[in-house]
Amino acid sequence: MAPFLLTHALLPNLKKSPKGRVIIVSSISQSSSLDFDNLQQQKGYSAHNAYSISKLADAMIAYELADKLQGTGVTVNTLDPGTVNTKMLLEGYATDLLRCTWTEINGLL
């Protein structure tokens, strides 16, 4: 919701700028699907699925904004920062293999 609200609040200034840019941080986790009958996940909640849905919503916002702002000089893109060593990753989503090898993998990046 934040990218949507902030971008809409800034649209007048973005349109005045010769090269307005909107970049929404997303994730490969957006590779999900939406169940419009269960958007609030009242059935079958999982933290990973909630995160995936939020990232998919960010991408959908970006696509819609890009379409609506065509011809205004404002571009809209999404960015996937890749895997980042965060508590959420290591405690919530990582496989045991990733947890064991993160230090070695991180050293290579």
Catalytic positions: 51
Nearest alpha carbon to residue 68 among 7, 6, 2: 7
Residues with Cβ < 8 Å from 20, sequence gap 6 or more? 13, 14, 72, 73, 74, 75
Buried b (16+ CB within 10 A) or exposed e, 29-61: bbebeeeeeeeeeeeeeeeeeebbbbbbbbbeb
Q: Is 11 helix (H, G, I), strand (E, B) or coil?
A: helix
